Structure 1
């Protein structure tokens, strides 16, 4: 393990946009950690990129479990000694197009747990490693569904609320964290993934490219913003 090389962790990194982010960061000479709660799938994803010569490793991580996040953070601290990039990519979309008032209460709570509390606990747990080197790039993968000016339109209520809250978390933490640590949110668009379905117009590779620039920002780059395809969009 190279403790001087920049290290990135992508949650949900075993498939879809997450896997493409792992690949693209590895191609830019990052040491990349595939965060996945499914060990077999995570190890398979990491191995497929190791076989191409990339510095990629599996980290068991269930964003729904605070204990799992804490164990992963301690593992990264002990083995890698640093974390420079955290991409909160793991997320769920379980309510179809159901309005919020018709949503199952458990479904709402599970959605918020994964899409909001997971990123919060991850950021809280990994910030000390970023502060150690006064460097960090945190990217919260959000959605245009979470824009405030879209809240007066019907749609997937639990999902929309979770992404609105994630956007709020992004702004609040960006205001609280000082130094060369940047926290931004990004909408990858409608993407051909398990979540987006087969009819989406964008590939996971294209979506990952639209996220990547936030992961490798220089010191003059934005902080506390919301972007799509490199352009700032309304909250």
Structure 2
């Protein structure tokens, strides 16, 4: 039996999208002049296509990173083909290591002098284990090192740079997952789901701690996407449900950036790239009044 809480999140808007609607096409978006974006975990899949979305939308500079440089060089070439005016930096970064994230932040500060948007896409699922006596403890440890501590490392070293950027957009965007809400079912992978819950909670903490300084923090569920990581760590029975396009999340990231002034009320919340964004905007008063799209302990 699936988890009803996940169904409620999936259906938060009556209309949903599996591919990028024409209204969200990044090529039709105009971003602020001089916009600088750093993306952690940009070598393949969702992170790669987030970079492409910002390139199509006219970002001035994109800094891409991952644990290995080889795939990033392919992404760099594609980015420059999409936008010949784009400046691209390629930096090696292992988000699970504080020293590596610190070095990446120092590079951005020294080379770019500003940062408007940080997108954290790096993640780890690992083999699915739905019982705590299954699998290996190191699988769970790695999930927490990358998904939870990686988010903390990125916040620790990049939030100061975002806040220091004069007239910057001060946006901290995390590619989270509705998996953080899952408690049961064939994809209730203990290490992944609980570490993703911690990640989403950290995003909420960022809003509590830094919203008064202008920081915008949000977690985005990218949809059910058939990425390399998903294919390698998803039960065979669930593979047919991985039907959302890999570029959907990037389009939503760009939409958030382009609509920065009108989306501050989403700070500290989890949203889904599959939701209809016009319908989401129409729910603004309801979301604010009931403080929705956050974790809470049920008392009734």
Give me the whole-angstrom Cα distance separating, in 2, the residues matched to 1:24 and 1:85.
Answer: 13
Q: Is the 8 A contact 2:268 2:294 kept in 1?
A: no
Paired residue for 1:78?
110
CA separation of 1:218 and 1:69: change in aligned 2, threshold 3 A: same
SS in 2 for 1:168: helix
For residue 208 of structure 1, the aligned residue among 233, 250, 256 is 250
- Determine which structure has the larger helix proportion and give its number: 2
Q: Which runs of 5+ in 1 are unaligned?
A: none
Deviation per residue, 1:40-83 (Å, 9 max, x gap): 21122112221331433212211121111111111110000011
Residues 1:226 and 2:256 aligned together: no
Give me the whole-angstrom Cα distance separating, in 1, the residues matched to 2:251 and 2:46.
Answer: 9
Q: Is the 8 A contact 1:142 1:166 kept in 2?
A: yes
CA displacement at 1:6 relative to structure 2: 1.5
Q: RMSD over aligned Cα, in angstroms?
A: 2.0
Aligned length: 230
Which aligned pairs between 1:47-126 and structure 2 lie closer than 5 A?
47-52=77-82, 53=84, 54-126=86-158
CA displacement at 1:152 relative to structure 2: 5.3
Q: Which runs of 5+ in 2 are unaligned?
A: 1-32, 232-238, 281-291, 296-300
Give me the whole-angstrom Cα distance separating, in 1, the residues matched to 2:180 and 2:140.
Answer: 15
Give me the whole-angstrom Cα distance separating, in 2, the residues matched to 1:51 and 1:113.
Answer: 35
Residues 1:183 and 2:213 aligned together: no
Paired residue for 1:41?
71
TM-score normalised to structure 1 length: 0.89
SS in 1 for 2:247: helix
Paired residue for 2:204?
171
Residues 1:22 and 2:65 aligned together: no
Higher RCO, 1 vs 2 (CA within 8 Å, ≥6 residues apart):
2
For residue 161 of structure 1, the aligned residue among 184, 191, 194 is 194
Give me the whole-angstrom Cα distance separating, in 1, the residues matched to 2:157 and 2:221.
Answer: 24
Deviation per residue, 1:151-199 (Å, 9 max, x gap): 2556111100011101111111110002221001111111021122274
TM-score normalised to structure 2 length: 0.71
CA displacement at 1:233 relative to structure 2: 4.5
CA displacement at 1:234 relative to structure 2: 5.8
CA displacement at 1:141 relative to structure 2: 1.0
CA displacement at 1:93 relative to structure 2: 0.7
